[in-house]
Amino acid sequence: MSTFMARRQDVVRKWWVIDAGGKPLGRVAVAAAVLLRGKHKPIYTPHVDTGDHVIIINAAKTVLTGRKLDQKIYFHHSGYPGGLRRVVYRRLMSERPDFAVERAIRGMLPKTKLGREMFRKLRVYRGPEHPHAGQLPDIWEVK
């Protein structure tokens, strides 16, 4: 008996909605990364994108526990000398909460072409509305 390896044509994709309102950023990111990678499915194969589409709503209401709002810093470098930019998460969460959620999830995906392909199936919205009702998404509850 040989080990089962999923192929691209074996994958059936679903749509999931995660409500991030009042939930810790890390827990939402872990749940989304698991769904995007397909680790919740019995056909999970590491070298094949078996994941589903994920919609995250209420990203502006995501919380950071402890003193992370003031101590956690987002770094970005332009590539030029002296081009290092620092933004405290309190400011980042007030101005671009969707970007903070995306960045947390991207860090949990593989750093390869496969990871970029998985990341393209993610949609993050600040409020409770999203335009993907036609895909009939199911709700994924974050613990």
pTM, two decimal places: 0.93
State pLDDT tens for residues 87-105: 999 999 999 999 999 999 9
Query: Domains of the chain, with CATH numbers?
Result: 13-64+99-139 (3.90.1180.10)
Coil vs helix vs strand at 72? coil
CA-based radius of gyration for the chain: 17
Residue 50 and residue 86 in contact, taking contact as beta carbons nearer than 8 Å: no
State pLDDT tens for residues 32-70: 999 999 999 999 999 999 999 999 999 999 999 999 999
